[in-house]
Structure 1
């Protein structure tokens, strides 16, 4: 199978003309989008494209009160049947085709080509439309399965085994767009998803924007389900501004919660966002958003007739649009699954060179990242899992993708190395809890929480275990329920994990971005500096937004100072300064962990490094965040609230600790009353 979709020698078709042609369509949608975009009060002018705003200005533009609350079912996960019905799979595939010059290609042929990849060459369409699952025969034996397999692992993707063929390949012989009453094999849209929480912290992109299509047969037959998910990664047109360059996108999604919008208003706005894009942004359905290095298309396949519920497979695909001489070839090509290591890599007895390399990489890079979070939503690897480790498919035939089972319970060098790393960073987690975290962010582990027996993955070392999935496996459903505020309308059902765990987190990330600021929230790189400590922004131990400040202290005395910021958007500033501080459990001298001091400077008001407060670190619980509050003197409060508002405010955090202690984390500085 094709495992590398990049080919720098190929010429890609330019679509600047197509994007220009979209301009006229914005005329008809401008009034509606004007309703959706201004979602914060006293919004300031946008920065000039490509010109980064200053740090002081960026804080002045943040922290603006939202004019209406974020409704998660309108601004994060939209499943209203009358809205998603506006999205047809045939239209999406045709939109892709319109962006290339592939003579004779139709939505039906593109669909058939994609699902034909699940079949062997000898079983595939003739003439062949693209790759097949046995193009690269499998040479890596899968781990044994207690229940056995009905389908052989005869193919491979990225050097890892995949079942070949699978019954879902027969979709290539069906009509996915058939109208009623012969539409059991046709597909319907069920969910539109805003994943701004996945935006690159440095602002290279604005997150993922998804749409789920489900096979209609799943409405009545749980043994004939197939979910087809387009997960576009939307590029940031002004990456020099960081995530601030994505503000229009976030405000658009927030605007969908505006009570003034009708259902049709929201449907039209979403359709425009997906097909045409916001001004200055590519549309969601841009073929580049699903190409190598960007987003992906995924298929959740349950099409095994009379098979047990756990016979499921997920595969990932990319759009490959190669052009030469003005003619292009658009294909949907299987690829490895990002951030989903193959199970065989966790086998401590494996002598496969990839497994040996992975075990070293995992201990050196992944252990601390996976351990450094107190929130299930923030479990992550430090970087994208290196490509050679990415599984060819995710399966759940009993425990095929279970990392804990692969590690085993017996002593091993791999298990010992994980424990040594956990001990070194002061983590109370066990190797099994750490692998349960890795399992929980894999495709199979995210969908199915195994609560008992060997290889269970619900104990991830938090105060409470991961709850069971109310939909058993998937997070979206073909079943519907009444819309609470209007029972005459319906919406597709979401799992309890989505509604109770994922959406509240994503809502907070969105809200923190809209009414927070990048310096006091530690969202902007380079905004805090130190000549003594080693600083970095991290996405693990976080209480607000998506990043916090990580302070590593090789020296005993450390000063960490912010860039100047304005209090214009913070007014009125309260008389207390509060922030969240993570006290490290790594202490060379536990009897004296040290002290923390905060100082304030406002040179324009004659205030220079003025002491705000100090405390002993032995008063703070280790290995968790604690709120730290200092009361500001009345003259300082007056200076912060002076007119005009000062724009040269800075804070200094001083840590007098034992050299080699830490790391410490700071997040969510705020002025309160």
Structure 2
């Protein structure tokens, strides 16, 4: 299950080529994955894995508000000048300015020597019109944008889409996926042209694994409920300022200038012809101690040179490519349009991807042909081993669909064996054409995005949000009890110098509310304060925001559990259950002579529940008749949210059960983990603790 993989990790579109390939670092020394750019990570590795608990009230999002944003009212806050100005400023204001950065990007498409004020810079013929040993054609029509007086300039481009590509985040949490801005040429002369900034956002909490990225997806989730004006402000701040603890999306380190080499900028060109896609990394060079940023051409990922598919090719890399390709047949044979995949070591990748011409090198199917060959036989043998009915030609066609050119045009409606590849919108997936949407004018997206890729990415996001997840690393000791108000999880750690702790349900990041407390036992919250009992006989409280600790009551020998309904406190003392005002004062006995009391107690709007022996008992919270609610072995926690009673059991593995308050069989069950020793429920979450020394605090959407 996903939660087990998360715990294991703790313990140890123009979306240019949108929806087509997989993302990953470029350096094998950082991550063993091959460099891939539009399909992978959370979107492929999990493949809709089970979530443990089928959430009673799962979190859902509006895909057109939380996965892709194309409303013009939002995108007016994003200009190409603004993006490049921020990147130049992060370089310290030295080197190229925003306009020069724009021109330098396009000067790479000119032959040497290019524009004098942009040098030194890469050019298309630096190594004989080759990059990585494969053709790198000059594009003078696009390169003309490097000229200072060009009619097509930095102001000729408009933002047409923002994309949440959390599906590209590796399940290890090495980064938090990509967050993209697509720009289209909407003025400045004839011809279409696109630039996409694909920032790989660092994870500031790698100790939490992929759950260190939860604040980012919580941010995108919350956009679903915001009006367009509020959404516009929020998302611009996310890109240009960043969430607390996170870098801005628009940061020079997020476009390839980092140890993993992840993130990139891609262009989709058709001012001239044919329609061509290329890729760049942002590099920082500091000759003589004066640093400047430059766009450096790199290979187009998951785009092996087409000649390598030709069974008769005599290219030096052809034999090793064919051998590698056989190892990828199993991933390509997956019969799911969103998750079939393959990896391509960068040594095989081309310098460019043609989206328009057929029968040429970039046309993998044409290169592979229909004739008999050893390559074909080897693919068929692997398909036979897998028991797959997909043909060798369809396997190669699937590889073609994952190339930029294939995804953008060549593979439209292609029959791939079991399904057809969805259609782009005239060579792009995020278009410069507008339509009327629910919140006004917005830019249109392709059928492939609207009907296939975006719904899948939405599901990946929702699966992640609804999965159980750690609020802390596996690093907590002596956990004794938990509480939650729907925003934070709270817990106490019982020892001679104990602590009262909290962590955000969305972002983790534990913090201390009270420290050096003698033997804290149990904790409760009303959303304003946190209350806890101590073995010495005291009840104390502190604001949920932290601050001074104050005493509610003292001299209560035999204290155990605590609960609150926001008006009163309910406690166990020896074999009795008592209540007292939140501010302190005289106690009232509600039940006495209960020798099996364990201290596990909870309250909702009407009833008080407690655990004694193997039973959970119920009574009106003001006192009255006591009735048996349920009997279960190994109960270690109970919590009522006013709709259900949640019960934890420390079995092998432990269970979390949700009972209807009217009684009866549990309506939801999931395997939690080992050494589960408390549970609480509030807002949309259930929180539980696993006291494994070290232990962990976990949360899950109800």
TM-score with structure 2 length normalisation? 0.59
2:447 aligned with 1:459: no
State the Cα distance separating 1:323 from its structure 2 match: 2.9
Aligned position for 2:304? 341
> What is the correspondence of 1:238-253 to structure 2 with a 5 Å cutoff?
238-253=205-220
Instruction: Work out the CA distance in 1 between the residues paired with 2:445 and 2:70.
Output: 8
Aligned position for 2:319? 356
Distance 1:64 1:516, change over 3 A: farther
Aligned position for 1:386? 345
Instruction: Work out the CA distance in 1 between the residues paired with 2:231 and 2:218.
Output: 14
State the Cα distance separating 1:517 from its structure 2 match: 3.0
State the Cα distance separating 1:252 from its structure 2 match: 0.4
Distance 1:458 1:255, change over 3 A: same
1:164 to 133, 138, 141: 138
Aligned position for 2:88? 97
Aligned position for 1:406? 367
Q: Which has the higher helix share?
A: 1
State the Cα distance separating 1:163 from its structure 2 match: 1.4
Distance 1:498 1:510, change over 3 A: same
**3-state DSSP class of the match of 2:317?**
helix
Check whether the contact 2:422–2:452 (CA below 8 A) recurs between aligned residues.
no
Instruction: Work out the CA distance in 2 between the residues paired with 1:569 and 1:295.
Output: 45
Instruction: Work out the CA distance in 1 between the residues paired with 2:73 and 2:381.
Output: 54
Aligned position for 2:354? 395
Instruction: Work out the CA distance in 1 between the residues paired with 2:670 and 2:109.
Output: 68
Check whether the contact 2:400–2:411 (CA below 8 A) recurs between aligned residues.
no
> What is the correspondence of 1:4-43 to structure 2 with a 5 Å cutoff?
none
Instruction: Work out the CA distance in 2 between the residues paired with 1:70 and 1:99.
Output: 34
CA-to-partner distance for each residue in 1:22-64, whole Å, 9 max, x for gaps? Answer: xxxxxxxxxxxxxxxxxxxxxxxxxxxxxxxxxxxx989x958
State the Cα distance separating 1:396 from its structure 2 match: 2.8
Instruction: Work out the CA distance in 1 between the residues paired with 2:288 and 2:114.
Output: 32
Check whether the contact 1:236–1:246 (CA below 8 A) recurs between aligned residues.
yes
Instruction: Work out the CA distance in 2 between the residues paired with 1:92 and 1:609.
Output: 50
Check whether the contact 1:436–1:460 (CA below 8 A) recurs between aligned residues.
yes
2:265 to 290, 297, 311: 297
CA-to-partner distance for each residue in 1:586-636, whole Å, 9 max, x for gaps? Answer: xxxxxxxxxxxxxxxx9746x7999xxxxxxxxxxxxxxxxxxxxxx9699
2:342 aligned with 1:368: no
**3-state DSSP class of the match of 1:353?**
coil
Distance 1:113 1:608, change over 3 A: closer
1:209 to 144, 154, 179: 179
Instruction: Work out the CA distance in 1 between the residues paired with 2:395 and 2:125.
Output: 35
Instruction: Work out the CA distance in 2 between the residues paired with 1:333 and 1:410.
Output: 40
2:446 to 479, 488, 495: 495
Instruction: Work out the CA distance in 2 between the residues paired with 1:500 and 1:213.
Output: 22
State the Cα distance separating 1:230 from its structure 2 match: 0.3
Distance 1:634 1:217, change over 3 A: closer
State the Cα distance separating 1:492 from its structure 2 match: 0.7
State the Cα distance separating 1:340 from its structure 2 match: 1.5
Check whether the contact 1:184–1:217 (CA below 8 A) recurs between aligned residues.
no
Check whether the contact 1:167–1:303 (CA below 8 A) recurs between aligned residues.
yes
Instruction: Work out the CA distance in 1 between the residues paired with 2:107 and 2:118.
Output: 11
Check whether the contact 1:168–1:303 (CA below 8 A) recurs between aligned residues.
yes
Aligned position for 1:323? 286
Distance 1:274 1:349, change over 3 A: same
Aligned position for 1:473? 427
TM-score with structure 1 length normalisation? 0.62
**3-state DSSP class of the match of 1:502?**
helix
State the Cα distance separating 1:173 from its structure 2 match: 1.4
Check whether the contact 2:639–2:645 (CA below 8 A) recurs between aligned residues.
no
Aligned position for 1:65? 57
Aligned position for 1:14? none
State the Cα distance separating 1:240 from its structure 2 match: 2.5
Aligned position for 1:482? 436
**3-state DSSP class of the match of 1:121?**
coil
Larger radius of gyration: 2
CA-to-partner distance for each residue in 1:320-379, whole Å, 9 max, x for gaps? Answer: 012366421211110001222111111111122211111111112x111111x2321112
**3-state DSSP class of the match of 1:378?**
coil
**3-state DSSP class of the match of 2:461?**
helix
Distance 1:64 1:391, change over 3 A: farther
Aligned position for 1:29? none
**3-state DSSP class of the match of 2:221?**
helix
**3-state DSSP class of the match of 2:144?**
helix
Aligned position for 2:245? 280
Instruction: Work out the CA distance in 1 between the residues paired with 2:670 and 2:76.
Output: 56
State the Cα distance separating 1:105 from its structure 2 match: 2.0
CA-to-partner distance for each residue in 1:127-147, whole Å, 9 max, x for gaps? Answer: 63411110001xxxxxxxxxx
Check whether the contact 2:199–2:250 (CA below 8 A) recurs between aligned residues.
yes
Check whether the contact 2:74–2:231 (CA below 8 A) recurs between aligned residues.
yes
Instruction: Work out the CA distance in 1 between the residues paired with 2:670 and 2:326.
Output: 49
**3-state DSSP class of the match of 1:134?**
coil
Check whether the contact 2:88–2:94 (CA below 8 A) recurs between aligned residues.
no
Instruction: Work out the CA distance in 1 between the residues paired with 2:309 and 2:467.
Output: 40
State the Cα distance separating 1:425 from its structure 2 match: 1.6
Instruction: Structure 2: state its 5+ residue gaps.
Output: 1-24, 30-50, 475-635, 656-663, 681-687, 691-699
Aligned position for 2:559? none
CA-to-partner distance for each residue in 1:452-488, whole Å, 9 max, x for gaps? Answer: xxxxx711222x422333x2221111111112x34xx
Aligned position for 1:433? 394
State the Cα distance separating 1:388 from its structure 2 match: 0.8
Instruction: Work out the CA distance in 2 between the residues paired with 1:378 and 1:392.
Output: 25
2:73 aligned with 1:82: yes
Instruction: Work out the CA distance in 1 between the residues paired with 2:122 and 2:671.
Output: 64
Aligned position for 2:125? 134
CA-to-partner distance for each residue in 1:434-461, whole Å, 9 max, x for gaps? Answer: 111111111011111546xxxxx71122
Instruction: Work out the CA distance in 1 between the residues paired with 2:637 and 2:386.
Output: 37
Aligned position for 2:223? 256
Q: Which has the higher strand share?
A: 2
Instruction: Work out the CA distance in 2 between the residues paired with 1:108 and 1:639.
Output: 56
Aligned position for 1:332? 295
Distance 1:64 1:99, change over 3 A: farther
> What is the correspondence of 1:187-226 to structure 2 with a 5 Å cutoff?
187-217=157-187, 224-226=191-193
State the Cα distance separating 1:107 from its structure 2 match: 0.9
Check whether the contact 2:637–2:678 (CA below 8 A) recurs between aligned residues.
no
Aligned position for 2:465? 514
**3-state DSSP class of the match of 2:291?**
strand
State the Cα distance separating 1:569 from its structure 2 match: 11
Instruction: Work out the CA distance in 1 between the residues paired with 2:448 and 2:668.
Output: 43
Instruction: Work out the CA distance in 2 between the residues paired with 1:639 and 1:71.
Output: 27
Distance 1:158 1:184, change over 3 A: closer
Distance 1:349 1:573, change over 3 A: farther
User: Number of residue pairs matched?
Assistant: 461
